[in-house]
Structure 1
């Protein structure tokens, strides 16, 4: 077997392993989102989201929401940061201050960011869309379009 053929096989194995792991994450994301929706019902508003954030069966670590203007990168609506190196101390979701008085949109934004708390670096944007849309009972494309429109509303002049 040539060296080139061996390298191709190694690449394929790595790629498959990554796909298998991510497939497992995506399945867990879906299952967890369905579980949350079953537990908290079809009407997930901001008050319900705050209850969900306190429920360790739903959100793995403590999660606080804060609103800031500085520190949100252009083209983003928020960011999630660990409080310390110890994940059990919790996380903070920082959302752009423009959303502070918009409780109607907060569930979608918070759910999108909360995937990072549950899945860390394994989480992808696809997982965030899948999680948020499933918890809210929305079509995934409609959820994605809502997130894009909200983000664009911050940065388009």
Structure 2
């Protein structure tokens, strides 16, 4: 019974994130790839995304701190970050990355700094929510393992 309640809590939480625009349908695609042979898939994807995103955001900040900004690098990395956030369903973060790319496309350093601030903000929101999802996923897996041993 606890497992069912946790699964329902997880689905309700994800639905709430959809309603807020934090997540989109792509997160369901990630969930659909998780199965009995790979019960940790969502956890692995979330961990990989968070590590890559933090590194990408830090690199973008370094690029923008240069006296002469290499805008093609900023554009490329913002596009990469948008793709990875979109692939995990990070809707608002992907939109913020698109803003950063647009500012970079026109060599607007101030616009890039503002957009990077939005990317950071949306990343923190997404990361915190994905971490909550991960905690629920771990609890579901742990409870399933306990039921299997009984």
Q: TM-score, normalised by structure 1?
A: 0.31
- Compare the two structures and name the one with the higher strand fraction: 1
Larger RCO: 1 or 2 (CA < 8 Å, sep 6+):
2
- Compare the two structures and name the one with the higher helix fraction: 2
